[in-house]
């Protein structure tokens, strides 16, 4: 009977040591012989409900902006095509009239700013299309943000001090050459 009591005391002391060294979760796993599953914290129901509307707003803004940019890009590209056609017609009429023998006058198609604007629009359209594929982050109030941040910190500390860290410690102790 006394031996059983001493073994129980040793187990309690070991569990206390493990709790200090690796966290309560490891000690509980050893005591209860059940794996502790650490689920990450979730947003509150109010935050989730508000997020649905916020995500819809962001997606609508992205779609509207994307359509406007595509229309603007098409207008600039059409102006570029018209300028190219006009330049080709002027060049053909000069060459066809024979008035300027061997010298072709070049008409600038588009100025540098217009070409730069086309390039910027293409880049912005590509960026918006990429953002549409990304998850919209939750917009939290100050209180919700601090609560969620604290819960995440607690969760990450528990994960770091989990069974995996105990096993890696155990492996290092028993595999280190003497």
Domain of 105?
44-139
Q: Is residue 68 part of a domain?
A: yes
Same-domain status, 61 and 96? yes
Q: Is residue 4 part of a domain?
A: no
Q: What is the model's pLDDT at position 122?
A: 94
Q: What is the model's pLDDT at position 121?
A: 94
**Residue in the structure block whose two tokens are 């010298």:** 103
- What sign for the dihedral angle of Cα 104, 110, 113, 118? negative
Same-domain status, 113 and 100? yes
Same-domain status, 113 and 132? yes
Give the integer Cα–Cα distance in Å for 152 and 138.
14
Q: What is the model's pLDDT at position 33?
A: 65
Q: Is residue 148 part of a domain?
A: yes
> Are 135 and 25 a contacting pair, CB within 8 Å?
no
Same-domain status, 106 and 29? no
Helix (H) or strand (E) holding 125: helix 112-133
Q: What is the model's pLDDT at position 27?
A: 63
Give the integer Cα–Cα distance in Å for 34 and 83.
76
Low-confidence ranges of the chain (pLDDT < 50): 101-105, 107, 173-174
Q: Is residue 116 part of a domain?
A: yes
Q: What is the model's pLDDT at position 22?
A: 55
Q: What is the model's pLDDT at position 2?
A: 62
Q: What is the model's pLDDT at position 102?
A: 44
Same-domain status, 53 and 100? yes
Q: What is the model's pLDDT at position 20?
A: 58
Same-domain status, 52 and 132? yes
Q: Is 102 exposed, middle or buried (0-12, 13-18, 19+ CB in 10 A)?
A: exposed
Same-domain status, 88 and 132? yes
Same-domain status, 146 and 135? no
> Are 142 and 47 a contacting pair, CB within 8 Å?
no
Q: Is residue 55 part of a domain?
A: yes
Say what the pTM is. Answer: 0.56
Q: Is residue 25 part of a domain?
A: yes
Q: What is the model's pLDDT at position 123?
A: 95
């Amino acid at each position: 009977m006394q031996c059983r009591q001493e073994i129980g005391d040793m187990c309690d002391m070991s569990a206390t040591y493990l709790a200090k060294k690796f966290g309560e979760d490891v000690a509980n796993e050893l005591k209860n012989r059940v794996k502790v599953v650490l689920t990450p914290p979730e947003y509150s129901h109010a935050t989730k409900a508000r997020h649905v509307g916020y995500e819809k707003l962001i997606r609508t803004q992205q779609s509207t902006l994307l359509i406007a940019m595509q229309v603007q890009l098409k207008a600039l590209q059409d102006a570029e095509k018209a300028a190219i056609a006009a330049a080709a017609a002027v060049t053909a009429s000069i060459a066809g009239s024979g008035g300027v023998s061997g010298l072709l006058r070049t008409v600038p198609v588009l100025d540098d700013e217009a070409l730069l604007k086309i390039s910027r629009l293409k880049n912005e359209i590509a960026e918006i299309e990429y953002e549409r594929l990304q998850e919209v982050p939750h917009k939290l109030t100050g209180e919700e943000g601090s609560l969620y941040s604290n819960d995440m910190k607690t969760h990450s500390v528990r994960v770091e001090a989990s069974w995996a860290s105990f096993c890696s410690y155990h492996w290092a102790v028993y595999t280190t050459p003497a």
